[in-house]
Structure 1
Amino acid sequence: MASPDKQQKRAQRAKTKAKQNRMGKPKANLIHPVLANPMIDEPFDDVEIDLSTFDFKDIEENGFDPAHFDDLFQAMKAGESISLLAMCLVFLQYPVLELVVAEETEDAATDFMMGLLIIYRGIFHDDDEDAAVKWIGSEAFQAAYNEASLILQKKTARERVRT
C-alpha cells in the first residue's frame, strides 16, 4: 500500500484531471482563435431548421420574411459584438445559406446573401438599402468575409481528413 503522502498526491492529480475534463480542454490546433467561442463555431447546432420546407423559388418570386431568419440575425448580432470576422463566420455557417450556395446558381445565391445582409443591416443598424450595400462593399467587410470564408474552408478540409 502506498504511503499516505503518495495517496494524497494521487488524489490531488485525479482531482485536477477531473476538473480539467469538466471544464473542457482547449481545442488543439485551432484554425482561428475566434472559433474557440461556441457561439461562433457551429452556432446553429442547437437550432431546429427544417431544410426540407425551404422553398428558394418562392423566395425568388415573392421575397422573404425576415422573421423566418431571426435565428440567423440574432446569431449574427451576437457575433458582431465580438468582431466583424465573427459575424461573417456565423453568417457563412447558416445551414439555409449553405443549402442555397450548394443548390442554386452563383447569381441567385449571391442575391440571396445580399438580401440577408441588407435586411440584417436594416434591422440592427437602421441602414437603408444603399447604406447596407455600401457597407457590404467596404474594405473592412470584404476582408472579414474573405477571411471567414478561408477559415471555414480550412475547417472543412480538416474535418474531412478526420473522417
Structure 2
Amino acid sequence: MASPDKQKKRAQRAKTKAKQNRMGKPKAPVIHPVLANPLIDEPFDDVEIDLSTFDFKDIEENGFDPAHFDDLFQAMHKAEAISLLALCLVFLQYPVLELVVAEEDPEAATDFMMGLLIVYRGLFHNESEDAAVQWIGSETFQTAYNEASEILQKKNVRSTRA
C-alpha cells in the first residue's frame, strides 16, 4: 500500500484532473479585446435579415431607403460609443454588406459602403455629405477601418479552421 503522503498526492492530482474535465477545454484566445463585447462580435446574429429579398440592382438605380438599414445604423451608433474600431467592426460584419462585397463589382460595392457611411454620419452626427466624405477619408477612420478588416480576416481564418 502507498504511503499516506503518496495517497494524498494522487488524490490531489485526481481532484485537479476531474476539475479540468468538468470545465472543458479552454476557449481560444480572443483575437482582439474589443471582440469580447457581444455588441461588437457577431452583432447581427439576433437580427432577421432576408438576404434573398435584397436587390442591389434596385439600389444602384434608385438609391436606398435609410429606414431599411436602421438595424445597421443603430448597431454602429452603439459601437461608436465604445470606439471607432468597434464601429468599423460592426459595419464590416453587416450581412447585407458582406453579400454586396462578395457578389458585386468592387467599385459598386465601395460606392454602396460609402453611401451607408455618409447616411450614418448624417443621421447621427448631422454632417453634410462633404463632411462625411472627409471623415471617411481621414487617417483616423482609415486606420480603424483597416484594423477592423484585419481583425475580421483573422477571425474568419480561425473560424474556418475550427
TM surpasses 0.5? yes
Report matched runs for 1:46-85 at 5 Å: 46-85=46-85
Residue aligning to 2:45: 45
In the alignment, the residues of structure 1 paired with residue 27 and residue 136 of structure 2 have an alpha-carbon distance, to the nearest angstrom, of 32
Residue aligning to 1:124: 124
Code of the aligned partner of 2:151: I
Could you say if the C-alpha distance between residues 27 and 126 of structure 1 is closer, same or farther in structure 2, counting changes exceeding 3 Å? farther
Code of the aligned partner of 2:72: L
- Is structure 2 residue 105 aligned with structure 1 residue 95? no
The normalised TM-score by structure 1 is 0.83
1:84-119 alpha-carbon deviations (Å, 9 max, x no partner): 000000000000000000000000000000000000
In the alignment, the residues of structure 1 paired with residue 27 and residue 36 of structure 2 have an alpha-carbon distance, to the nearest angstrom, of 7
Q: Which range moves more in the overlay, 114-123 or 28-37?
A: 28-37
In the alignment, the residues of structure 2 paired with residue 29 and residue 74 of structure 1 have an alpha-carbon distance, to the nearest angstrom, of 28
- Is structure 2 residue 132 aligned with structure 1 residue 144? no
The normalised TM-score by structure 2 is 0.84
SS for the counterpart of 2:58 is helix
In the alignment, the residues of structure 2 paired with residue 99 and residue 27 of structure 1 have an alpha-carbon distance, to the nearest angstrom, of 29
Percent of aligned positions that are identical: 80
Code of the aligned partner of 2:36: A
Unaligned runs of 5+ in 2: 1-14
Q: Which runs of 4+ in 1 moved over 2 A?
A: none
Could you say if the C-alpha distance between residues 78 and 27 of structure 1 is closer, same or farther in structure 2, counting changes exceeding 3 Å? farther
Note the C-alpha offset of 1:27. 4.8
In the alignment, the residues of structure 2 paired with residue 70 and residue 140 of structure 1 have an alpha-carbon distance, to the nearest angstrom, of 25
Contact 1:136 1:142 in 2 (8 A): yes
- Is structure 2 residue 159 aligned with structure 1 residue 156? no
In the alignment, the residues of structure 2 paired with residue 69 and residue 44 of structure 1 have an alpha-carbon distance, to the nearest angstrom, of 12
Q: How many residues align?
A: 141
Note the C-alpha offset of 1:28. 3.3
Contact 1:84 1:141 in 2 (8 A): yes
